Every structure is written in C-alpha cells, then in structure tokens.
C-alpha cells in the first residue's frame, strides 16, 4: 500500500483504509463503530487508537512499525519544518483511528515536542516573519501541559525584544495578544508589568491635552491594548497618567478669566463627550474611570451654576510627585498581590514591584539600575539610576532622588531628566 519512497508528510492518507481493516481483524471488533470512532474514550485531540488498550495495541504497533512509524519518524526528524505544522498535523489526523494511543503519544512527545523546543530556541521575535503562535498553538490540543516548558524561554525572548519598543509600533500587540490565554495569569501579569504597562504610561505622559487642536495618537496606542490588559489595570493606568492632566486642562478652560473669553459650555460638553466616546463600556463602568469623569462633570456643573470651579485633586506638589512614581508601579503592585498564595508580605511585594517598574524604565532608556552596596537612607536601600541616587519607600509608595543634601519625591520622567542634566554637567567639565 505504501511503496518505496512514501513520504507520510506529503501523502498522509495513503494506506489508512487498508490498515483500518487490518486493525478491525487483529482486534476482532468486526468494524463495530460503537466506541471506536474518533474521540472515543480519552483519545485527546485526535482520539488515537479508538480506545485501544495497550495490550490490544501491540499487534497494531508491530504491524505499523516498519511501513508507517519508521518513515514518519524519519520525516519528522529530518525533513519537517516545525514552523509549518500542517503536514504533521494532517498525518496525525488521518491516522487517528489507526495509530495506537501509546504509539501516537510516543511520536508526539518523543519527536514532535523536541523539534518544537529546538525551533523555539532558534526563534527570534524581531527577525522571524512568522509569528510563533501560528506554529506552536496548533499543537496545544494534542500536547497540552507538555508544552509548558516552552513558555519561559518565549517570555524571556519577548521581554528582551520589547526593551526598545515604543507603543506607536502595533506589531508588539499582534505578537503578544494570542498568548494571553496560554500563559498563566501570573506570568502574563509579569510580562505586562515589565514590558508593556510602563511604556503605555510613558506614552500617556507625552500626550498634550489641547482642546483647540487635539492629537489622539497616544491615547489610541494605549487603548488598543485593552483586549490584553485587564480592565482594572487599564483603569489604574488612565487614572494615574491620563486623567490628572486632562482634568487640569478642563479646570483651566472653565476658569478662564478676562481678558480671555468665557468658555462656551456647549463646546465644553461636546469636548467631554468626545473624550468619553473613546473608552469602552467596560472601562466606563469601572469605578476608577467613573470617578474621574464625575470630577469633570462636577466642574462643568459648577461652571453652569456660576460657582467657583474647584480644582481637581490635591495641589500639594510633593504628593503629586510621589503619586507619579507610585502610579507607575500600580500595575506591578497589582500583579504581585493578585498572584496570591504564600510568599512575601504585602509591603515587600510592593517594594519589589515598584523597584521592578523603575528597573524596566531604566532598561528602556539603556540605563543601569543597581543597588549601591552598604548605602542606605532612613533604612531604605540606595540604588543608582544612571547618575542619580534613589530610594524606594514601599510604605508610602514613593520614589525619592538625592538632590544636593536632601531626598525629594520624583516621578520617572523627572528622574530621567535629572540623569540627563548630570550627564550634561559632567560633559562641560572636560
């Protein structure tokens, strides 16, 4: 039935009908389809062996060893390209009711999985044009948890590749989105925290709120990630990086004093509704987003009533600077605490998460973030962020930088600017 030179990957269905008849003869089942069809008993994706027990499979294994299994093993080992899963998948599907389950699993785990592992080792997120999920995910139903050891090297490569990434590049979203349902929740959170959420916050920090000529690019870059970022994380990100400047602009607009013309409240309402329309129903229903929008509505109502417009939020500059640093790490803190289970106390988790957020920011700007051995301030470890000394206060969720003889709360953008200023000052001394 097979003939010399048979390639099971090019002609996977050859001989299946004849060997199915031999299977029925050897097992004495008389071709009764009851209990023998695809998916009978626990045959996994393909229903291998139609429910044959190991003892029943022995005659079939001996029959198939030479004409089928040996050519298939050779083809999978020497000619099959793991980045093109279809030829191998078609074979296993065609032979689902003939191959004994133990034989099929031996091929999947002993030949296919090692080839996939080698392909993952050779894969480059930035150089390979074929997304890795397109050739790995089709094997999930057949291999399941056996593929779990592949995920860590994939995440490592993704994290490395994302270091220079900017949110304006949509290719990262295309690459990562299919993995949300595959990676465990904790691992997915860690990937977002280290490689995505800090960059999205930086993008929002670059957004200029200008009612006269609004550019929405940064907001659209961020909201495009909503399918991959849990609503609570996205709401926290908007609360930290978008709504404070947005509300300040609204307050300035409503509080315009002569000689500036009074605000057109109809135009303000249209502006407010335009921004609101950018957010999904899920985000609009979230308490954090709803609270910020209510602050805007309160200011608009005060303007209609002719009352004094209350400024949004606290005006304490130090608190604002400290808040900027802690909000950068909000997603990281949530990732650590949502991980659940045992481990460190809540405060320690927050400190690690804030430190990791700063570390990710430093890596994105090609800067070192390292502890300074033997140095501590008020019991807090001192770190070097480029040329600036900083501390992480987990209890107050504050990032502080050394400015002269004092330690002042800073946001990450301020910290980066201090580093650049010191570099410029050093360059002038030569």
Is the pLDDT reported for residue 315 higher than 50?
no
For residue 262, give both structure tokens.
């009074």
Band (153; pLDDT cuts 50, 70, 90): very high
Give the number of other Cβ atoms within 10 Å of residue 224's Cβ: 15
pLDDT given at position 133: 96
pLDDT for 17-57, tens place per residue?
A: 667 666 666 565 544 333 323 333 344 444 455 444 444 44
Q: What is the DSSP letter of 195?
A: I
Residue showing tokens 């957004």: 207
* Alpha-helical regions (H) of 164-264: 171-176, 185-191, 197-205, 217-223, 231-241, 243-254
| pTM check: above 0.85 | no
How do residues 230-242 score in pLDDT, each as one tens digit? 999 999 999 999 9
Residue-level pLDDT at 58: 66
Q: Is the pLDDT of residue 400 over 60?
A: yes
Mean pLDDT, to the nearest integer, of 358-370?
79
CB 252, CB 259: distance < 8 Å: no
Tell me the two tokens of residue 75: 């083809």
Please determine, for residue 151, whether its predicted confidence score (pLDDT) is greater than 90.
yes
Q: Are 372 and 354 in contact (CB under 8 A)?
A: no
Rounded to an integer, the average pLDDT of 350-364 is 69
| pLDDT score for 27 | 61
**For residue 306, is pLDDT > 90?**
no
């Amino acid at each position: 039935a097979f003939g010399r030179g048979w390639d099971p990957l090019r002609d996977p269905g050859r001989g299946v009908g004849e060997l199915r008849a031999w299977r029925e003869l050897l097992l004495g089942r008389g071709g009764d389809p009851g209990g023998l069809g695809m998916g009978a008993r626990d045959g996994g994706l393909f229903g291998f062996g139609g429910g044959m027990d190991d003892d029943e499979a022995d005659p079939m294994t001996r029959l198939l060893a030479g004409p089928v299994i040996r050519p298939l093993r050779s083809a999978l080992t020497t000619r099959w390209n793991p980045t093109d899963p279809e030829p191998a998948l078609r074979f296993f599907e065609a032979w689902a009711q003939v191959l004994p389950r133990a034989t099929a699993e031996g091929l999947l785990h002993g030949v296919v999985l090692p080839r996939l592992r080698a392909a993952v080792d050779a894969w480059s997120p930035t150089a390979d044009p074929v997304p890795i999920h397109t050739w790995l995910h089709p094997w999930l139903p057949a291999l399941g948890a056996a593929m779990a050891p592949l995920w860590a090297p994939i995440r490592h490569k993704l994290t490395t590749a994302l270091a220079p990434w900017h949110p304006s590049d949509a290719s990262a979203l295309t690459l990562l989105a299919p993995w949300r349902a595959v990676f465990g929740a904790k691992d997915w959170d860690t990937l977002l925290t280290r490689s995505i959420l800090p960059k999205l916050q930086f993008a929002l920090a670059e957004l200029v709120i200008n009612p006269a000529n609004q550019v929405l690019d940064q907001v659209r870059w961020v909201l495009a990630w909503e399918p991959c970022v849990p609503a609570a994380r996205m709401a926290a990100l908007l609360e930290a990086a978008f709504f404070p400047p947005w509300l300040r602009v609204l307050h300035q607009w409503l509080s315009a004093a002569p000689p500036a013309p009074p605000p057109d409240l109809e135009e303000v309402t249209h502006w407010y509704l335009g921004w609101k329309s950018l957010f999904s129903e899920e985000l609009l229903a979230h308490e954090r987003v709803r609270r910020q929008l209510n602050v805007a509505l309160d200011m608009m109502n005060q303007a209609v009533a002719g009352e004094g417009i209350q400024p949004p939020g606290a005006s304490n500059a130090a608190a604002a600077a400290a808040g900027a640093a802690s909000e950068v790490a909000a997603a990281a803190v949530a990732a650590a605490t949502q991980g659940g289970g045992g481990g460190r106390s809540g405060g320690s988790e927050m400190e690690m998460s804030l430190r990791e957020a700063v570390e990710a920011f430093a890596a994105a700007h090609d800067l070192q973030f390292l502890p300074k051995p033997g140095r501590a301030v008020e019991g807090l470890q001192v770190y070097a962020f480029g040329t600036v000394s900083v501390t992480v206060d987990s209890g107050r969720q504050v990032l502080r930088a050394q400015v002269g003889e004092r330690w002042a709360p800073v946001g990450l953008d301020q910290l980066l600017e201090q580093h650049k200023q010191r570099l410029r000052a050093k360059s002038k001394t030569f």
